[in-house]
């Protein structure tokens, strides 16, 4: 799982996924709209009836994760002290690219311009199926190179065309990144409210000619034969 905004645990249940089935949680950065259910999740691992795992859940993020948890524990006390047989916290360097072998997948990371703790993730399995998740980011040629040849590229697109804010992408900027990266499928997400009333696809398609979708809750995109197919 990548990031956990408010409502994530409920949506997991709606998707038919039990929260104790998750092996790995990655955080792209520490803004509230990305870590909103970190505290409820850790609380659930300690006190929810029936929570049981053969090995701990690993929660990974950039340098700063442990400091964040220390601050949260000052607010919530022992109620969210992770139990080592259930949760392991691990920090990832945020000053350089990293590649971590986590069979059956390889996890690669790229620091991005949003916060000092921002990371993009590339996850690739043993069969070569791959996903890149940008998290929040400004325009980045490094991100485009990082995502080259990926099956599924998930980019934020927080603002409509003409309403650029620093640290976030517009549709045309997302399109430029995707055109360089050449994914099988581009998925846009992280829409601010004014995106609902705006045409996001037209300015994007002037830059990117490939397949693109706008993310919706509970959308499923399986990776099959190196080509993402959209369902639901």
CATH value at residue 132 = 3.60.15.10
110 and 70 part of one domain: no
162 and 194 part of one domain: yes
112 and 202 part of one domain: yes
C-alpha separations of 83 from 15, 94, 97, 130, 166 in Å: 27, 26, 30, 32, 38
85 and 200 part of one domain: no
Beta-strand relationship, 130-133 and 57-62: unpaired
Q: Considering only 55-69, 98-112, 211-225, which range has the smallest mean pLDDT?
A: 211-225
Query: What is the reported pLDDT for 113?
Result: 86
113 and 222 part of one domain: yes
61 and 169 part of one domain: no
Query: What is the reported pLDDT for 224?
Result: 66
87 and 3 part of one domain: yes
189 pLDDT exceeds 80? yes
Mean pLDDT within 55-67: 97
69 and 106 part of one domain: no
Looking at every residue in the chain, the average pLDDT score rounds to 94
100 and 86 part of one domain: no
CA distance 211 to 186: 6
For residue 84, the enclosing domain spans 1-92
CA distance 40 to 22: 15
DSSP 231: B
Q: What is the CB-side half-sphere exposure of residue 67 using CA atoms within 13 A?
A: 6
């Amino acid at each position: 799982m990548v990031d956990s905004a408010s409502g994530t645990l409920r949506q997991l249940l709606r998707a038919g996924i039990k929260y104790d089935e998750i092996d790995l949680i990655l955080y792209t950065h520490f803004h509230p709209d990305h870590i909103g259910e970190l505290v409820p999740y850790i609380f659930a691992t300690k006190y929810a009836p029936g929570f049981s795992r053969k090995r701990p859940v690993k929660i990974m993020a950039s340098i700063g994760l442990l400091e964040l948890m220390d601050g949260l524990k000052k607010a919530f006390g022992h109620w969210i002290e992770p139990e080592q047989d259930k949760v392991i916290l691990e920090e990832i360097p945020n000053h350089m690219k990293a590649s971590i072998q986590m069979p059956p997948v390889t996890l690669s990371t790229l620091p991005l311009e949003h916060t000092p703790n921002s990371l993009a993730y590339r996850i690739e399995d043993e069969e070569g199926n791959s996903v890149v998740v940008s998290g929040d980011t400004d325009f980045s040629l490094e991100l485009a190179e990082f995502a080259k040849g990926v099956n599924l590229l998930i980019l934020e697109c927080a603002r409509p065309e003409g309403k650029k804010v620093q640290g976030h992408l517009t549709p045309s900027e997302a399109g430029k990144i995707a055109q360089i990266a050449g994914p099988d499928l581009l998925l846009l997400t992280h829409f601010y409210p004014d995106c609902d009333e705006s045409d996001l696809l037209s300015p994007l398609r002037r830059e990117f000619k490939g397949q693109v979708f706008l993310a919706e809750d509970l959308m499923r995109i399986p990776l099959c034969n190196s080509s993402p197919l959209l369902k639901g």
